[in-house]
A = this chain, B = another copy of it.
Amino acid sequence: MGKIEEKKRQKKEALLASAFQLFTEKGIDNTSISEIAKNANMAKGTFYLYFKDKYAIQDCLVAYEANRIFEKAHIQLNNELFQKVSDSFEDAIICLVDCVIEQLNENPVILRFIAKNLSWGIFSNIRISDLDNQNCMDIFDELIQKSKKKFRQKELMVFMIVELVNATCYNVILNHSPVGIEDLKKDLYAAIRSILEQFELQ
């Protein structure tokens, strides 16, 4: 009977939602398992039926939230491509990045939660559920293919862009230093274009 499976899924989701709220409000170090369970209307012991410890729940959440952000960015990219056909490959990348930055800017809590916990290893393996479980590299590959351009060391290229975006936005959005987000964007996107050019063949 699927009813039991459904109930278990609901419990797990309740724990994830509860933990996300507490982690972003008070930080993972100041959140106890007991609190996560109580905030999800469960007994402490029940937590252990679903997760080994709070770090297991954290890993789940980081991947889940990152997935949501990329999914949304991808949808928006498709919308833009549909409207303005002239967009170049570089514009598409910038569009993706911009959409991600906007989401982080509007929700700094998620930025703080994700940024410090999202290593390249996790990031590069994120599967985007609504896109047949493609990961980020797949999406890039697709865009590249459409553009008829050729690049060397595509993974390194993406890695450098992702890290540059992540690191600079973290500071600028959370500390408004050394410049505001709009000021950053101009030069950040110029730098991204330079990096893309640097890796392009011929």
B155 touches A160 (CB 8 A): no
- Chain B residues whose CB sits within 8 angstroms of the CB of A157 once the complex forms: 187
Given A171-B119, A199-B187, do A178 and B156 touch, yes or no (CB 8 Å)? yes
- Chain B residues whose CB sits within 8 angstroms of the CB of A155 once the complex forms: 178-179
CB closest chain-B residue, reference A166: B167
- A88 in the interface (beta carbon within 8 A): no
One of B167, B183, B184, B191 near A167 (C-beta < 8 A):
B167
- Distance in angstroms between the alpha carbons of A94 and B190 in the assembled complex: 20
One of B29, B121, B163, B198 near A190 (C-beta < 8 A):
B198
- A86 in the interface (beta carbon within 8 A): no
A interface bracket (residues with beta carbon within 8 Å of B)? 20 to 34
One of B119, B120, B171 near A159 (C-beta < 8 A):
B171
Copies in the assembly, this chain: 4
- Chain B residues whose CB sits within 8 angstroms of the CB of A153 once the complex forms: 179, 183, 187
A184 touches B164 (CB 8 A): no
Contact flags (1/0) for A92-127 with B, using CB distance below 8 Å? 000000000000000000000000100111001000
Q: A100 → chain B, closest Cβ, in Å?
A: 16
One of B29, B121, B178, B190 near A175 (C-beta < 8 A):
B121
CB closest chain-B residue, reference A156: B179
- Chain B residues whose CB sits within 8 angstroms of the CB of A29 once the complex forms: 29
- A168 in the interface (beta carbon within 8 A): yes
Chain A to chain B contacts (Cβ below 8 Å), 29 pairs: A29-B29, A116-B116, A119-B171, A120-B171, A120-B175, A120-B177, A121-B175, A153-B183, A155-B178, A156-B179, A159-B171, A159-B178, A160-B168, A160-B187, A160-B191, A163-B164, A163-B167, A163-B168, A163-B171, A164-B167, A166-B167, A187-B198, A190-B198, A191-B191, A191-B194, A191-B195, A194-B194, A194-B197, A194-B198
